């Protein structure tokens, strides 16, 4: 065995992960080769320092309790689990749409060019939420669970309501990062479709509804109580406006 053959195997030899034959070959070579022997010494020195340096991070106090609480809440039998299958059903569709997405944004109407980036961010946030298993961070139809969940995650209090009676059941919430700041996201269902409502504080009130279409997704903006709302979905504009109305009535 030559040095060129031995060098790529030294690390695995050192870890005792080579089969017996290869291991013997490397060993035979390293006994007569100062360079390879020195490399093995360095691996050994590195292991000594890695194990001696207390590099393992211990979880902060309270993490276990918080995780246990969250896990128990998640495991509680609830309506949420009956809703699970659509999350997977949405994935192939979302992946197809995302493949066609191609990062260029065509805005049909209603947007100034400065807003194009924001619209693109909103749509990719929406698509991403359907693609990755990351639709919601707190999965529940209980608004009283979702609202406090946002405490400490965003620096404002988003209005959380379940509009199940009007055909928009609340599925849960998560935090996304939109336009350089954290946004609260409420997730609703409209029959088999998903509506993401992004919420963050508005610098100025813009009472008028505004809509846009980006790659077949509808976006609708409204404001209220010092907050900006953007809904993104593939449901109809009429449905989006109904949801906006529900928010405005509830607020």
Partner 1 sequence: MRKPEELQRFERLVMPHLGAGYNLARWLTRNDDDAEDVVQEAYLRAVRAFDRYRGGDPRSWVLTIVRNTCYTWLRQNRAAETASARDDDNGVAEIPGDPAAQPEVQFIRDVDRQLLREALETLPAEFREALVLRELEGFSYKEIADIADVPLGTVMSRLARARKQLQQSLRRRMKEGA
Number of residues that bind partner 1 (CB under 8 A): 54
Q: Which of 26, 29, 39, 243 binds partner 1 (CB under 8 A)?
A: 39
In the complex, the smallest distance separating the C-beta of residue 147 from partner 1, rounded to whole angstroms, is 18
CA distance 240 to 220: 7
In the complex, the smallest distance separating the C-beta of residue 172 from partner 1, rounded to whole angstroms, is 11
Q: Which of 24, 28, 49, 93 binds partner 1 (CB under 8 A)?
A: 49
- Closer CB to partner 1, residue 36 or residue 195? 36
CA distance 88 to 132: 10
Instruction: Please say whether the dihedral angle defined by the alpha carbons of residues 192, 135, 103 and 91, taken in this order, is positive or negative.
Output: negative
41 binds partner 1, rule: CB under 8 A? yes
156-177 in b/e form (b: 16+ CB < 10 A) is eebbbbbbeeeebbbbbbbebe
51 binds partner 1, rule: CB under 8 A? yes
Q: Strand locations in the chain, DSSP E?
A: 138-139, 170-178, 181-190, 193-201, 210-214, 217-224, 227-233
In the complex, the smallest distance separating the C-beta of residue 36 from partner 1, rounded to whole angstroms, is 7
Q: Give the binding site for partner 1 (CB under 8 A).
A: 3-4, 7-8, 10-12, 15, 17, 34-43, 45-51, 53-60, 63-64, 66-68, 70-72, 74-75, 77, 81, 84, 128, 132-134, 137, 139, 177
């Amino acid at each position: 065995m030559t040095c060129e053959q031995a060098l790529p195997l030294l690390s695995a030899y050192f870890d005792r992960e080579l089969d017996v034959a290869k291991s013997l070959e490397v060993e035979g070579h390293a006994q007569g080769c100062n360079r390879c022997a020195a490399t093995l010494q360095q691996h050994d020195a590195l292991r000594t320092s890695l194990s001696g340096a207390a590099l393992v991070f211990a979880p902060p106090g309270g993490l276990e309790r918080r995780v246990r609480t969250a896990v128990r809440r998640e495991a509680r039998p609830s309506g949420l689990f009956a809703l699970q299958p659509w999350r997977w059903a949405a994935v192939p569709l979302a992946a197809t749409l995302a493949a066609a997405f191609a990062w260029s944004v065509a805005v049909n109407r209603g947007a100034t060019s400065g807003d194009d980036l924001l619209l693109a961010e909103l749509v990719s946030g929406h698509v991403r939420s359907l693609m990755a298993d990351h639709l919601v961070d707190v999965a529940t139809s209980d608004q009283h669970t979702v609202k406090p969940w946002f405490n400490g995650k965003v620096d404002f209090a988003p209005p959380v309501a379940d509009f199940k009676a009007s055909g928009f059941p609340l599925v849960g919430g998560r935090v996304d990062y939109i336009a350089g700041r954290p946004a609260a996201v409420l997730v609703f269902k409209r029959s088999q479709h998903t509506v993401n409502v992004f919420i963050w504080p508005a610098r100025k009130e813009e009472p008028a509804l505004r809509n846009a279409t980006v790659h077949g997704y509808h976006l609708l903006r409204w404001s209220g109580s010092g907050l900006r709302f953007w809904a993104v979905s593939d449901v109809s504009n009429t449905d989006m406006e109904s949801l906006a109305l529900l928010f405005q009535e509830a607020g």
